[in-house]
Chains A and B, each alone.
Chain A
Amino acid sequence: MSKTTKQVDEVVIRFAGDSGDGMQLTGGRFTETTAIVGNDLSTLPDFPAEIRAPAGSLAGVSAFQIKFSSKDIHTPGDKPDVLVAMNPAALKVHQKDIAPGGIIICNANAFTPKNLKFAGYETNPIEDKTLDDYYTLYSVEMGKMVALANEDLGLPPKTIERTKNFFALGLLFWIYDRPMEQTQDWLKVKFAKKPDIIEANIRAMDAGYNYGDTTEIFTTRYTVDKANLPSGEYRNVVGNHALSMGLAAAAERSKIGLFYGGYPITPASDILHTLSAWKHLGIKTFQAEDEIAGVTAAIGASFTGNLGVTATSGPGIALKCEAMGLAVIAELPLVVINVQRGGPSTGLPTKTEQSDLMQAMYGRNGEAPMPVLASSTPGDCFYVAYEACRIAVKYMTPVMLLTDGYLANGSEPWQLPKLEELPDFNVTFADESNLADGQFLAYARDEKTMARPWAIPGTKNLEHRIGGIEKEDLTGNVSYDPDNHHYMVETRAKKVDSIANEFGPTEVFGNPSGDVLILSWGGTKGACRSACEFLQADGKKVSHVHLRWINPLPKDLGEILIKFKHVLIPEINFGQLIKIIRSEFLVDAKGLNLVRGKPISSSDIQESVNALIG
C-alpha cells in the first residue's frame, strides 16, 4: 500500500505519560532533531511537582509540548495536533486540549483495567469508540513491540518496558520525516557504559519508525519545510541554560569574578547546576544554607569586587527582600533572578506565572527602588542576564531579573551570539586616585550614572565602612539627619530612573497608532506577537509593544500609549503591570488575566482584542 506525504506549515505535538515514562526526555530529543532539520520551534514542558506521584495517577502525568513550523513562530502552540498518550491518565488529562480532528497515539498496553480505574475511566476509551467522532485514534501496543524487539538481549522485562518512549519517538520521527542519527549518537554518549541499554533504546526507536513505515495503519507522512530564519549558526537553547550563559558572558567580558550564591528551588535550580559545572571559567558557586545566606553571601562577594548573583523563585525572593534592601542602601552591584512560578506560598512549583512583578517592584521595606527587567523568550534569557549584570555594575545597584517557569524550561532555536559583539562591559575599581585631599568619599557619585565608586577590600588607603544605616551624602558615614535622608532617598530613586537613558526608542510592532495596543512584559511576548500578527493579517488596527524594562519604564511609552483607542495588557496574574501603567500614565488600560499555571494562548488574546474592538 502506498503512503502519501502531505506538506504542512506547522505542527503541535504533545508527549504525555507517567512521570516515569521519560516524556521530558522524549520531547527533548524530538526538539533537538527538529531544530537541526531547520524548523522554527518553541517548546513547553509541563511536569508535576512530585518526583514520582503514584504510577498511573492523574497527578503523575508529565507532558512536553513542541510546536514546529516552516514559519517564524513565537509560542509553543495552543492546541496539540497530535497527542502521544502513554497511559490512560495522560489521555484523561490532555484529551480536552487536542485540536478538533487531531491525532491521538496511545500505548495500548498501558490501558489495563487497573490503570483505567486509576484514571477514572469506566470503560476503555480506546475501545469504546467514544473518541472516534472527534479524533483519529491510533492504538499501538508499544510495550509488546519493544519486548519483542529486545527479547534476545537478556535484559530484565522492566528495563525493556522502559524503552517504549523511544518507540513513540521513532514513530513520530517517521510520521514527521526526521532523521534518527542525532538521537542514536546521543544515546551512545548518554549510556556509554551500558551498551545493552543503548542497543535496547535504538531497537525500540527503530521498531517505532518501522512500525510507521511498514504497517498499513499510518497512511500519511507530513513534512514541514525549513523555516526562513536569518542566516547564521544556530542551536536549540533552554531558558535557564541561556541565562547561565549570559551570566558567564558578563563575567568574562567584565573580567571580574562571578560569585553565585543560591539555594535549591524549583524552577531555578538548573542555574545553580549549570554554573557549578563551569568551574573552569573560574565561576564560584556556593550552595548556601538557605535563601538568605545565598543572597547575603552574594552581597559579601560584591562588596569584595566579584559580581554577586543569586537566583530563586517567588518564595525564595520573599526571604531575600531584606538583603536586597541592604544592597540598595549600600549601593552594591547584585543580580537577583526570580524564575517565577505559581503562587502564593508554595503554590504551583512546576507551573508558570507572572505574579511576582509587584513583589519585584515594591517588595522591600522603605523606599527601595530596584531596576526590574524581564526576559521574553528562552533565548532572550541570555541577553537580559548580560544586561542585568552590566547595569548592576554600571549603576552600582541591585537589579531584579524576572523570568518564569515557561521560559526557564522552554526552548527555541537560537542564533549563537558572539561574545565580542555584546555591549561593552568595563569595570574600574576605585584606587588612590579617588582620594580627595587624602580622604576617600565612598558616596561621591559619577556625574553621568550617579554611581558611587566601587572600592574593594585589599585596596590601599581606601579603607571605609558601609552599612544598612542611612548614609551621609559623600562620606557614607552614619547619618540621622532628616534632610540628608530625604536627599539620599531621592538620589537612589533618580539613579534608578536614569537607567532609562540607556534605552533606544521603543519598538512598536505595527502602526504607531490604531485601535488596540497590546502591551506585554515577560514570557507572554510570543503569544501577544502571534495574536497581533494574526489580527493584523485580518485587517485589524492592532499593534504590539513589549517591555523588557519595567523599572524604569521607557521614557517614550506614555506618548505611544495615547495613540491607541485601547490598551490591552495580557498577564498571567490578576493585573500587575496594568496597575503600574494606569498609575504612571493615567491610561484606562484593560487586562487579560488568566492564572492557570500555563502560558496565555494567542487565541485568548485575539478574543480579548476582538471584544474590545467590538
Chain B
Amino acid sequence: MTDAVKTYTKKDFTSDQAVRWCPGCGDYAILAQTQKVFPDLGVDKENFVFISGIGCSSRFPYYMDTYGFHTIHGRASAIASGVKLANPDLSVWVVTGDGDGLSIGGNHTIHLLRRNLDINVMLFNNRIYGLTKGQYSPTSEVGKITKSTPMGSLDTPFNPLTLALGAGATFVSRTIDKQTKHMQAMIMRSHGHKGTSFMEIYQNCNIFNDGAFAQLTDKETKSDTVLLLENGEPMLFGAEKQKGVRLDGNTPIVVEIGDKWGVDDVLVHDESDYVIASLLSNMTYQPDFPDPIGVLYAIEAETYEDRMVAQIDLAIEKKPSGSIQDILNSGDTWVVD
C-alpha cells in the first residue's frame, strides 16, 4: 500500500443500485455524507469493506461502490471481526441500527467494543423498528405506543453511548442525520481512530417514528437542546452560548452564564476523560439537559488484531519454517517393515 492513493470523487463510491429507502428517510443524508467524505480518507477504494446486518440501515452496503456484505440480523460486528482478522489492512465499516446492533446483536456489539478491533461502527438510531413496520426498539422511550405495545412499551431504553463506554469502547461519538457537516467530521474522526470507533447517529424515521429528534433538529429549539462538544473547549450551548454545563459536586447541572457563573466555571471537555464521557453520555434523553454530540471519548489502546499478529509473529520467530508435516511426524512413532 505504498503507491500513491488515487484521487476519488463521490461518484466513485456510488454504486449502480437504486436506493430504496422511503423518501425523506434520514438514511439518505448519512449515505450522502459518507460518499462525500470517503474520497478524502486516503484509502484505496478496494480496501474499504462495508458489513451490515438486517434492518433499513443495513441496506447501506448495496449503495456504496466498495466491497460490501449484507449479512444476517445482528451479526455484522462478528462478521466484520472475521474480515478484519483475515486482513488487518482493510478499512472495515459496520452499519447497524438500534434493533440490529443493540437488540438481536447486542452481544456482538459489546464484545467488539471490548476487543477493540480497528472497525468503525455506524449505529443508526431511529428508536424504532422500521423494516418490520413500526415496533418499539431497545432505544424507544418507556410507554411507546406501537403495534406490538398498544398500551405502551414497558422496558427502559438502552442508552447506546453509556452501553458502549461500559463495554470498554475506546472511541464514542454521536451525530445527527441533519447535521451534515458535523457528520462528515465525525466520519473522519471514526476513520482516524485506531481501534473500534462507535458512532451513534440520530436518524429520523419519517414513517414510523417521525420527529423523534425534532427537538434536536428544529431551528427554534436545537441550540437549546444540543451540546456541541469540542475537545478542550467549555461546554456551552444556547443561541448565544449563554448556557453551560458545570459540576455541582459530582452532579452535572445547567447554568446560565452571567453574574453568578462565568465561562470559567463551566466544564471543559476532555475526550480522554472517562468520567466526563460518562457524565455526558448520561445526559441523553434527559429533559433538563442538552443531548451532547461530537466525540465524547477517544483514547489510544492496543487493538485485538495487533495483539493477534504479534502472537503469531512471535510463534513463527520461535519455530520458523513451520510445516504441519513436522506435527504429523511428531509424538511416539514406530516403523512397520
Residue numbers of A with Cβ under 8 A of B are 32, 35-36, 38, 182, 226, 229-236, 245, 248-249, 251-252, 257, 259, 261, 278-282, 284, 286, 288-290, 292-293, 296-306, 308, 322-323, 325-326, 330, 416-419, 456-469, 477-478
Contact = CB atoms under 8 A, between A and B. Distances in A.
Given A279-B311, A300-B51, A465 B82 contact: no
A297 B335 CA distance: 42
B82 A463 contact: no
Contact of B111 (A259, A293, A303, A308): A293
Contacts of B315: 279-280
Say what secondary structure dominates the interface of chain B: mixed
7 contacts: A261-B82, A278-B324, A303-B79, A304-B82, A460-B44, A465-B68, A465-B69
Interface stretch (B84-92, B170-178, B179-187, B196-204): B84-92
B336 interface: yes
Given A279-B316, A281-B323, 16 more contacts: A233-B329, A235-B334, A236-B332, A279-B315, A281-B322, A282-B316, A296-B72, A296-B78, A296-B79, A297-B82, A300-B79, A300-B86, A304-B87, A323-B72, A467-B68, A478-B17
A338 B308 CA distance: 26
Contacts of B87: 304-305, 456-458
B161 interface: no
Contacts of A288: 78, 81, 111
A457 B331 contact: no
B46 A460 contact: yes
A523 B132 CA distance: 45
Contacts of A280: 312, 315-316, 318-320, 322
Contacts of B47: 457-458
Nearest to B104: A292
A303 B87 CA distance: 10
B49 interface: yes
A462 B54 CA distance: 24
A229 B51 CA distance: 53
A454 B65 CA distance: 18
B71 interface: yes
Nearest to B87: A304
A416 B15 contact: no
Contacts of B51: 300
Contact of A282 (B312, B325, B332): B312
B154 interface: no
Contacts of B320: 280
B278 interface: no
A467 B311 contact: no
The 5 A-B residue pairs whose C-beta atoms are closest, nearest first, are A300-B82, A467-B70, A297-B82, A279-B315, A304-B86
A298 B324 contact: no
A234 B335 contact: yes
Nearest to B324: A248
Given A457-B67, A460-B46, A234 B82 contact: no
B327 A278 contact: yes
B194 to A, nearest CB: 19
Contacts of B85: 259, 284, 286, 297, 300-301
A249 B311 CA distance: 21
Interface residues of B, number: 62
Given A304-B90, A458-B47, A284 B67 contact: no
B10 to A, nearest CB: 15
Contacts of A279: 311-312, 314-316
A282 to B, nearest CB: 6
B336 to A, nearest CB: 5
Contacts of A300: 51, 69, 78-86
B333 interface: yes
A38 B334 contact: yes
Contacts of A296: 71-72, 75, 78-79, 82, 108
A322 B105 CA distance: 14
Contacts of B308: 284
Nearest to A248: B324
B151 interface: no
A293 B324 contact: no
Contacts of A230: 336
Interface in B19-67: 44-51, 54, 61-62, 64-67
A252 B323 contact: yes
Interface in B292-337: 308, 311-312, 314-316, 318-320, 322-325, 327-337
Given A279-B311, A298-B82, A457-B47, A233 B333 contact: yes
A386 to B, nearest CB: 10
A580 to B, nearest CB: 28
Contacts of A326: 71-72
B75 A293 contact: yes
A368 to B, nearest CB: 13
A364 to B, nearest CB: 12
B67 A464 contact: yes
Given A235-B333, A322-B72, A463-B65, A301 B324 contact: no
A233 B330 CA distance: 11
A416 B333 contact: yes
B45 to A, nearest CB: 7
B9 interface: no
B148 interface: no
A323 B312 CA distance: 28
B107 interface: yes
B328 A289 contact: no
Contacts of A297: 78-79, 81-82, 85
Nearest to B6: A460
Contacts of B75: 292-293, 296, 323
A282 B328 CA distance: 16
A236 B83 contact: no
Contacts of B107: 289-290, 293
A187 to B, nearest CB: 14
B193 to A, nearest CB: 20
Contacts of B335: 231-234
B86 to A, nearest CB: 4
A570 B81 CA distance: 42
Interface centre among A251, A289, A419, A478 (most CB of B within 10 A): A289
A322 to B, nearest CB: 6
